[in-house]
């Protein structure tokens, strides 16, 4: 049996050399790529899974509410791109993983409790990932004139630079541009629901002020020895169970020592008695405008809510300024899925709630394959260039309902007929339908729902012949040689619909692979990619491959080089027969460092590229 296997392996190797990409008389010539010293365990990932945990404030009742969070690559007002969304469990908690580029060092997260920029630890799973805790920042003490240290230890450490989710503002004159204010003696003094602000007069604590053409409320710019405490209040109507969110812009002028401010949401009953004192403390406000957010579910007996900004200003020749108060009131949930209509991408469909994307809402990623496996490739990574973008639809419990994959074969630097698929966890029988595929050959067996037969996981083929997908099937080496006519790629869309939402679906782009030259068992995955149930495992450890299923090493050479790459951008690939290290000057450094340096090697930065070795479509 062993002699037969060796002969079989030898014949495969010879076939690969002769047929292969047909790029060179000696496809095993790896040049200086073979000299790379890549550390064991490095699998050439340009994206990684980052654990994300968000704890919402205990002041919000999540028994029926699911709400929403959004994740951006940066503050969207500064150009950050939307990546994903999700919801919270009945304890106001989310814990899951996100697939993010390794170049991304921080993310921007938006919730009803505020928005925050957080750093991504270098080893996110080892260090617990990204942890955002809005849950321990609130106090529940009445406004008073006691020193702050005696009143609450709760300090909001989040830096909120956006309003979070806002719809219609239920507060009147939230920007303080209208000079129409009432007065009350103390915060608890009766005042009507009339869309007006009422200034407490206990110490003359707030005044209307023109801040360079922008009208705000502030504490008086006091003389030495004067102390001011009090605030500005407005009453709104509310009912038990309403979720009230309040955000305020705050800054200081002058020395901010001994200056403190609070946001208050105070539900009161029909007799005017306070039922609770939800508050957020901000010590020593910054000299730059900073947005603070407070949110709470109104308790039983609520008839009205006192929206109060309270200040203690003990600093001479200084002032606390507040502006842009936004208050959102009762939510409307038309489909009853726990997600407010304003936050629900499908407000009239209880089975769907959020659209999420990979790599993000606007950008495409690229798969780049070598197809000579288990033989050695020429490392130009252009045998198949496949651009993609995933749009996944989640329900209010973060289950995957369906997804769409826009894809485009941009280049084929080969002569072999290759197919492309990806594998994701889950029973293939749970798939309702697969549409948008292109199956023309006879080497695949598919079930009626469009998934591949004989698989334990869900395997979906986008196409079985790449040449049919690029807009031309009359030639080889398409869009990899600049002296050959350019072919304008086609764009297609795959749609996969599930019978039941998949809770643990993994992360797009899942486990992509090609099938080489219509030989079903000859799969080529990303480094470390687990083969499907139909892969021919007798090929592992043959020719140039050093896969070892016992140790979990797959699709890497003895010096750990890969046969495929996944880029979270539209990758500008090398021209025909030019190794990737001769096109991208820091690919070697990235690989030999185990990804610790130059994780952005593929970007178009000064000195990063040898443009003469990168394919450029004709103008």
CATH 3.30.450.40 matches 138-328 = no
Extract the runs of DSSP E, i.e. beta strands, from 56-185.
69-72, 82-86, 93-101, 106-111, 114-119, 130-133, 138-139, 181-184
Q: Give residue 535's pLDDT.
A: 98
Q: CB 474: neighbour CB atoms within 10 A?
A: 7
Half-sphere exposure of 49 (CA within 13 A, CB side): 12
Comparing C-alpha atoms, which of 309, 235, 310 is closest to residue 268?
A: 235
Cα 186–chain centre separation: 45
The string of pLDDT tens digits covering residues 295-313 is: 999 999 999 999 999 998 8
- Average pLDDT over the chain, rounded to whole? 90
Q: Give residue 474's pLDDT.
A: 63
Q: CB 205: neighbour CB atoms within 10 A?
A: 25
Q: How confident is the model at residue 314 (pLDDT cuts 50, 70, 90)?
A: confident
Q: Is the pLDDT of residue 145 over 60?
A: no
Q: Give residue 162's pLDDT.
A: 44
Strand partners, 250: 290, 322
Q: Give residue 225's pLDDT.
A: 67
Residue 208 CB contacts under 8 Å (≥ 6 apart), including other chains: 176, 179, 181, 215, 216, 217
Q: Is the pLDDT of residue 166 over 70?
A: no
Comparing C-alpha atoms, which of 464, 457, 361 is closest to residue 81?
A: 361
Q: Give residue 15's pLDDT.
A: 43
Residue 231 CB contacts under 8 Å (≥ 6 apart), including other chains: 143, 187, 199, 200, 205, 206, 264, 308, 309, 310, 311
Cis peptide leading into residue 374 (ω within 30°): yes
Q: Give residue 601's pLDDT.
A: 98
Phi-psi region of 317 (alpha: psi -120 to 50; beta: other; left: phi over 0): left
Q: 119 or 155: whose pLDDT is higher? A: 119
Q: Give residue 316's pLDDT.
A: 85
The string of pLDDT tens digits covering residues 236-288 is: 999 999 999 999 999 999 989 989 999 999 999 999 999 999 999 999 999 99
* 3-class DSSP assignment, residue 516: helix
Q: Is the pLDDT of residue 25 over 60?
A: no
Q: Give residue 125's pLDDT.
A: 59
Q: How far is CA 336 from CA 341, 345, 426, 522, 567, in A?
A: 9, 14, 28, 48, 39
Contact 23, 413 (CB under 8 A): yes
The string of pLDDT tens digits covering residues 495-516 is: 999 999 999 899 999 999 999 9
573/580 Cα distance (integer angstroms): 8
Q: Give residue 20's pLDDT.
A: 43
Q: Give residue 282's pLDDT.
A: 93
% pLDDT > 90, the chain? 81
* DSSP, res 5: H
273/267 Cα distance (integer angstroms): 8
Domain chopping of the chain, boundaries: 2-35+364-613, 49-132, 138-328
Mean pLDDT is lowest, of 131-135, 401-405, 590-594, for: 131-135
Task: Describe the strand order of the beta sheet including 130-133 as a list of residue ranges.
Answer: 93-101, 47-55, 130-133
What are 86-91's contacts with CB under 8 Å, separation 24+? 86/354, 86/356, 86/394, 86/398, 87/338, 87/339, 87/353, 87/354, 87/396, 87/397, 87/398, 88/54, 88/56, 88/62, 89/62, 90/62, 90/63, 91/62
Q: Is the pLDDT of residue 17 over 80?
A: no
The string of pLDDT tens digits covering residues 406-450 is: 999 999 999 999 999 999 999 999 999 999 999 999 999 999 999
Cα 9–chain centre separation: 44
Q: How confident is the model at residue 327 (pLDDT cuts 50, 70, 90)?
A: very high
Is residue 257 packed enough to be buried (19+ CB in 10 Å), middle (13-18) or exposed (0-12)? exposed
Q: 119 or 135: whose pLDDT is higher? A: 119
Q: Which CATH architecture has domain 49-132?
A: Sandwich (2.60)
68/340 Cα distance (integer angstroms): 8
Contact 35, 555 (CB under 8 A): no
Q: Is the pLDDT of residue 224 over 90?
A: no
Q: Is the pLDDT of residue 194 over 80?
A: yes
* DSSP, res 490: P
Average pLDDT on 539-546 reads 98
Q: How confident is the model at residue 475 (pLDDT cuts 50, 70, 90)?
A: confident
pTM of the model: 0.90
Phi then psi for residue 388, to 5 deg, are -155, 160
Average pLDDT on 286-295 reads 95
Q: 137 or 538: whose pLDDT is higher? A: 538
Is residue 436 packed enough to be buried (19+ CB in 10 Å), middle (13-18) or exposed (0-12)? middle
Strand partners, 293: 247
Average pLDDT on 172-185 reads 96
- Residue length of the chain: 619
201/209 Cα distance (integer angstroms): 16
Q: Is the pLDDT of residue 208 over 90?
A: yes
Comparing C-alpha atoms, which of 72, 51, 60 is closest to residue 135?
A: 60
Is residue 602 packed enough to be buried (19+ CB in 10 Å), middle (13-18) or exposed (0-12)? buried
89/376 Cα distance (integer angstroms): 49
Phi then psi for residue 155, to 5 deg, are -125, 125
């Amino acid at each position: 049996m062993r002699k037969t296997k060796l002969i079989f392996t030898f014949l495969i190797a010879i076939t690969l050399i002769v047929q292969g990409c047909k790029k060179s008389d000696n496809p095993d010539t790896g040049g200086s790529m073979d000299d790379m010293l890549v550390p064991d365990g490095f699998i050439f990932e340009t994206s990684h899974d980052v654990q994300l945990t968000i704890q919402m404030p205990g002041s919000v009742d999540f028994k029926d509410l699911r709400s929403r969070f959004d994740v951006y690559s940066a503050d969207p007002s500064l150009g950050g791109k939307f990546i994903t969304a999700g919801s919270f469990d009945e304890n106001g908690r989310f814990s899951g993983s996100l697939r993010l580029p390794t170049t991304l060092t921080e993310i921007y997260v938006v919730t009803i409790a505020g928005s925050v920029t957080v750093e991504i630890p270098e080893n996110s799973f080892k260090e617990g990932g990204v942890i955002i805790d809005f849950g321990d920042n609130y106090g529940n003490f009445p406004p008073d004139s006691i020193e702050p240290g005696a009143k609450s230890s709760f300090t909001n450490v989040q830096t909120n630079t956006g309003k979070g989710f806002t719809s219609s503002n239920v507060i009147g004159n939230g920007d303080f541009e209208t000079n129409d204010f009432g007065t009350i003696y103390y915060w608890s003094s009766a005042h009507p629901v009339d869309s007006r602000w009422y200034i407490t007069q206990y110490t003359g604590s707030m005044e209307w002020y023109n801040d360079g053409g922008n009208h705000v409320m502030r504490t008086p710019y006091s003389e030495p020895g004067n102390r001011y405490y009090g605030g500005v209040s407005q009453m709104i109507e509310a009912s038990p169970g309403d979720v009230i969110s309040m955000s305020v812009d705050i800054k200081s002028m002058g020395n901010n020592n001994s200056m403190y401010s609070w946001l208050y949401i105070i539900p009161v009953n029909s007799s005017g008695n306070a039922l609770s004192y939800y508050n957020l403390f901000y010590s020593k406000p910054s000299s730059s405008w900073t947005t603070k957010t407070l949110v709470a579910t109104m308790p039983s007996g609520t008839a009205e809510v006192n929206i109060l900004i309270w200040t203690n200003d003990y600093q001479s020749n200084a002032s606390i300024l507040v502006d842009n108060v936004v208050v959102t009131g009762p939510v409307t949930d038309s489909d009853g899925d726990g997600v407010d209509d304003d936050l629900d991408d499908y407000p009239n469909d209880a089975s769907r709630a959020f659209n999420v994307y990979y790599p993000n809402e606007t950008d495409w990623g690229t798969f780049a394959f070598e197809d000579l496996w288990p033989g050695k490739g020429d490392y130009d990574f252009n045998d198949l260039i496949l651009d993609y973008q995933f749009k996944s639809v989640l329900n209010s419990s973060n289950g995957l309902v369906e997804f769409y994959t826009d894809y485009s074969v941009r280049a084929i630097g080969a002569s072999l007929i290759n197919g492309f698929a990806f594998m994701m966890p889950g029973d293939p029988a749970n798939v309702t339908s697969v549409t948008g595929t292109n199956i023309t050959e006879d080497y695949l067996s598919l079930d009626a729902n469009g998934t591949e037969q004989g698989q334990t996981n869900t395997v979906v083929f986008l196409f079985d012949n790449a040449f049919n997908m690029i807009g031309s099937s009359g030639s080889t080496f398409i869009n990899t040689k600049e002296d050959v006519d350019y072919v304008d790629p086609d764009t297609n869309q795959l749609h996969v619909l599930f019978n039941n939402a998949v809770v643990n679906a993994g992360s797009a782009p899942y486990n992509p692979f090609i099938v080489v030259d219509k030989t079903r068992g000859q799969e080529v995955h990303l480094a470390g990619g687990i083969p499907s149930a139909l892969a021919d495992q007798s090929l592992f450890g043959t020719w140039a491959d050093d896969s070892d299923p016992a140790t979990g090493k797959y699709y890497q050479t003895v010096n750990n080089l890969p046969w495929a790459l996944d880029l979270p951008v539209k990758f500008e690939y090398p021209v025909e027969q030019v190794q990737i290290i001769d096109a991208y000057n820091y690919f070697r450094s990235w690989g030999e460092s185990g990804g610790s340096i130059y994780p952005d090697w593929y970007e178009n930065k000064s000195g990063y590229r040898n443009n003469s070795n990168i394919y450029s479509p004709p103008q």
